[in-house]
Amino acid sequence: MATQDEVRDEVRLAVPATPEFLRLARITASGLASRMGFSYNEVEDLRLAIDELCFVLIGSRGRSGTVHIRYAVRAHVLEVVGVGHFDDDQTDPMLASFSRQILSALVDDYAVYRDEEGRAAFSLVKRRQTAPDHR
């Protein structure tokens, strides 16, 4: 039996670090969330949160390089981690206070940081509220 916290499925995606490819990051997230029985409300929140966090990495114009995104599916939880692989990686990823306000309303947990290899990264955790028998 899989425990609650165990990662049941994992999906990895690497896309060019430009806004037009964010679509794929959102579709993948909403596809997985939908499989997990998330409600439409929750899927919409997830999509907005991914936009907000990816913006921290690539801005509105994009950057040269790629973003690697890992989706980990747990029993009731979807975790998304994005890591920037940029050609120039000078500035630290930072969240404005309004972004933090937004994200705390959209997801259960989030972070923006540099990973152990010093790459700009974000993570988010979204817990399903809808009871599974609504599937």
Partner 1 sequence: MTFDAAQRDELRRKFAEFAETRSPKTRDELIEAHLGLAEYLARRFSNRGEPLDDLTQVASVGLLKAVDRFDPERGVEFSTYATHTIVGELKRHFRDKGWAVRAPRRMQELYLRLGRIVSTLSQELGRSPTIPELATEAQVSEEEVLEALEAGQAYRFASLDAPSPGEDDGDTLSAQLGEEDSGMLDAEHRVALSPLLAQLPMREQVILHLRFFEGLTQSGIAERLGISQMHVSRLLARSLAQLRSAAEAT
Min dist CB 27 to partner 1, Å, is 6
Residue in 11, 14, 16, 51 binding partner 1, rule: CB under 8 A: 51
Bridge partners (DSSP) listed for residue 68: 14, 83
Residue in 43, 80, 83, 121 binding partner 1, rule: CB under 8 A: 43
Contact 113, 94 (CB under 8 A): no
Q: Work out the angle at residue 74's Cα, subtended by the Cα atoms of residues 79 and 38, and round it to the nearest 5 degrees.
A: 75
Can you tell me which residue has the tokens 């955790």? 125
Contacting partner 1 within 73-112 (CB under 8 A): 96-98, 101-102, 105
Q: What is d(CA 129, CA 114) in angstroms, rounded to the nearest whole number? A: 30
Interface with partner 1 includes 31 (CB under 8 A)?
A: yes
Only one of the segments 3-11, 45-53, 62-70, 72-80 lies at the binding site for partner 1 (rule: CB under 8 A); that segment is 45-53
User: Largest Cα–Cα distance of the chain, in whole Å?
Assistant: 47
> One-letter amino acid identity for 93?
P
Q: Indicate the residue among 5 and 35 with the shorter CB distance to partner 1.
A: 35
Contact 92, 52 (CB under 8 A): no
Residue in 10, 40, 64, 115 binding partner 1, rule: CB under 8 A: 40
Binding footprint of partner 1 on the chain (CB under 8 A): 20, 23, 26-27, 30-31, 33-34, 37-45, 47-48, 51-52, 55, 59-60, 96-98, 101-102, 105, 130, 134-135
